Structure 1
Amino acid sequence: MTYEQPKLNHDSEKFKNAQMAELALLKAYNLKEIDHWFTLKDGLRIRVSEIGEGKPVFVVPGNTGDMFPFIPLLSELNGYKFFIFNRPGGGLSDGMNHEKVNNIREFVVNIIDEVLDKLELDKVDFMAHSMGCHWSLWYAMSHPERIHSMNLIANPGRVMLEKIPLPLKAMTLPIIGNIAVKALVPKKRSQALNGLRRMGTSDTALKKMPQEFSECYYYFQNLPNYQMSTLSLLKTFNAKAENAINGKELESISIPIQLIWGENDTFASIEQGEKIAKSFPIGQFKLIKDAGHMPWIDQPKAVAEAVKTFLNTKL
């Protein structure tokens, strides 16, 4: 019997709370968003958020795939039309138990391919963050003909890591993982941004963020499928060695790639970032000072400038 991924009830109070929080954040940054809803071949209902006008850029978010953390960065990037792929398990798309997928790499490649087809994007620039970078690199290895260039932001998932970071390894353990992920879900609004602090984002930067940003984290992390999607994602990518990406695989990607790295990223060292960037045949490394794993929260203008410069010039 085929496993049916959990649906997200669009009429539920939790869905509406998250949706309203995101709309309020968009308003705070003077941005307008158009929703595209697609039901894919496997029955998953996926949301793609369209923001801006101009040259198209396809965005693959990190974590469980929420669009809203990118809003502060997108407000600094005029002249582009961003299509943000709210990955299954986040961003108001349906839930996702990644452990129920027979071949996660094949699934990732196929779902990105299907979404690009539905958006009628034959070839496009990519921008991705964290786990979204890992997904994007898998896709680039399979379909380089559909990508002009890639801006990868922060430690790109499980790439060239000889050892899994201890906090992530703990997540793969049955009992510890469940407890840890449950602890990540904020019980109070005051706890909503604790995860960003653990990833190297400064308190100074977080204090500058509008209240709507914190509200989004609170409501999205309390959606019914958040814990399952997060835990199954970490288990799937970190429990199986074949899901890692090695240096030889990176050497096979012949498209221009920029790796943007926060100086205080807690997932891996600057030296690791430089090593990854040097593995790309056409690659460059951009260090963002005084920034964490989500460097645009600390330094939105610096990250935006790096993205724009790369999109405009390539290598």
Structure 2
Amino acid sequence: MNKDSPRYPMASVELHKDVLRYVDVGDGPPIVLVHGLLGSNESWAGQIERLSERYRVIAPDLFGHGRSDKPSGDYSLSSHAATIRDLLEHLNIKSASMVGHSLGGGIVMQIVYLFPGLVERLVLVSSGGLGTEVSLLLKAATLPGSELVLPVLASDWVRKNAESVMGQLNKWGLPVRPGASMAETWRSFKSVSDRQTREAFLASTRAVVGPRGQTVSAKQHFEKFESIPSLLIWGGKDRMIPASHADNIRREVPNSRVEIFSDAGHFPQLDEPDLFFRVLDEFLTANSKVKTAPTTAVSD
């Protein structure tokens, strides 16, 4: 497979004159996977294949991301939420379990607020919208002039030199082997070298983050979550959004299930793929009719 080819077959739909591309695989209860900033369906690598054995998996590339169009305009949480609604309407899906990672977590919480009938179960993975703290990188993206700095940081020159430094440190006996979370962050960040992707990234980031941290909070909507089965999964070593944010929803919605993967970073679905699938599948199958093929055994 060409490295630029999508991992899974992708379909497309035109929504308001812009083309949205998405993965639609499997047969069973529908589950929607919503990626985060600079992500795409590739952010769910491995999970889509496993989930599609039991579920109908819908994994869009949000507008401004991946292989979808990158129009100028509204990149607010509400706009992204409306896109998911329109996609499900196109697919004639009345409701689904929603899984949101990082920015995608904020989007699915906005769906709960705006279109509660669409959400059967709610899964937040290293989610935005649950506290103010966020990485310095995201704060920096909101500052004036960041549109000039980002293409330099994402350039081939910087990437090759960074890889050269890591290679030299390895030779010196100081192993630097980035984990799956770091590798995915780096892969995604390189995409801002493209002007349209960069503009969409900045618009999406500035819609939810300011110089002091996250500016959008879902706290006022927590009471809506009490009637929806909810699961939070976080990496204990998340440097993008701290795992302590899970406590904010755990206090307000005590019936929420919270799982902290102690060795995972910002992408627990990639750092701990077996454990992630097992926890997610257990949650989705609880009190529901889903195919019961055996899961892979995992050790915590």
TM over 0.5: yes
Structure 1 match to 2:18? 44
Structure 2 match to 1:272? 245
Q: Secondary structure at the match of 2:238?
A: coil
Retained in 1: the 8 A contact 2:130–2:246?
no
Structure 2 match to 1:158? 129
- The correspondence of residues 67-106 of structure 1 with structure 2, limited to 5 A, is 67-77=41-51, 78-97=53-72, 100-101=73-74, 104-106=76-78
TM-score by length of structure 1 reads 0.74
Once residues 192 and 312 of structure 1 are traced to their aligned partners in structure 2, the CA distance between those partners, rounded to angstroms, is 43
Structure 2 match to 1:169? 139
Q: CA deviation at 1:215?
A: 11
Q: CA deviation at 1:38?
A: 0.9
* Counterpart check, 1:59 vs 2:41: no
Structure 2 match to 1:178? 147
Deviation >4 Å, runs of 4+: 188-193, 213-224, 240-243
Once residues 184 and 251 of structure 1 are traced to their aligned partners in structure 2, the CA distance between those partners, rounded to angstroms, is 41
- Cα separation, partners in 2 of 1:187 and 1:305, compared to 1, 3 Å: same
Structure 1 match to 2:205? 234
Q: CA deviation at 1:134?
A: 0.6
Once residues 313 and 66 of structure 1 are traced to their aligned partners in structure 2, the CA distance between those partners, rounded to angstroms, is 28
Q: Secondary structure at the match of 1:248?
A: helix
- Cα separation, partners in 2 of 1:114 and 1:191, compared to 1, 3 Å: farther
Retained in 2: the 8 A contact 1:257–1:280?
no
The letter for the 2-side match of 1:150 is: L
- Cα separation, partners in 2 of 1:272 and 1:62, compared to 1, 3 Å: same
- State the identity as a percent: 20
Q: Secondary structure at the match of 1:75?
A: helix
Once residues 23 and 164 of structure 1 are traced to their aligned partners in structure 2, the CA distance between those partners, rounded to angstroms, is 32
- Cα separation, partners in 2 of 1:242 and 1:191, compared to 1, 3 Å: closer
Retained in 2: the 8 A contact 1:60–1:129?
yes
* Counterpart check, 1:256 vs 2:226: no
Once residues 136 and 214 of structure 2 are traced to their aligned partners in structure 1, the CA distance between those partners, rounded to angstroms, is 19
Retained in 2: the 8 A contact 1:86–1:92?
yes
Aligned length: 271
The letter for the 2-side match of 1:181 is: L
The letter for the 2-side match of 1:52 is: G
Gaps of 5+ in 1: 1-18, 27-32, 194-201
Once residues 121 and 266 of structure 2 are traced to their aligned partners in structure 1, the CA distance between those partners, rounded to angstroms, is 21
Structure 2 match to 1:140? 112
Once residues 215 and 107 of structure 2 are traced to their aligned partners in structure 1, the CA distance between those partners, rounded to angstroms, is 11
- Cα separation, partners in 2 of 1:204 and 1:231, compared to 1, 3 Å: closer
The letter for the 2-side match of 1:293 is: H
- Cα separation, partners in 2 of 1:248 and 1:267, compared to 1, 3 Å: same
Gaps of 5+ in 2: 164-175, 289-300
- Cα separation, partners in 2 of 1:180 and 1:277, compared to 1, 3 Å: farther
Q: CA deviation at 1:205?
A: 3.8
Q: Cα deviations across residues 36-95 of structure 1 (Å, max 9, x unaligned)?
A: 211112x12111111333322111111134111212222343312211111001120001
Retained in 2: the 8 A contact 1:53–1:81?
yes
- Cα separation, partners in 2 of 1:215 and 1:291, compared to 1, 3 Å: closer
Structure 2 match to 1:116? 88
The letter for the 1-side match of 2:47 is: L
Q: Secondary structure at the match of 2:45?
A: helix
TM-score by length of structure 2 reads 0.78
RMSD (Å), alpha carbons: 3.3
The letter for the 1-side match of 2:97 is: D
The letter for the 1-side match of 2:128 is: G
Once residues 165 and 206 of structure 1 are traced to their aligned partners in structure 2, the CA distance between those partners, rounded to angstroms, is 18
Once residues 149 and 257 of structure 2 are traced to their aligned partners in structure 1, the CA distance between those partners, rounded to angstroms, is 35
- Cα separation, partners in 2 of 1:269 and 1:110, compared to 1, 3 Å: closer
Structure number having the greater helix percentage: 1
Q: Secondary structure at the match of 1:126?
A: strand
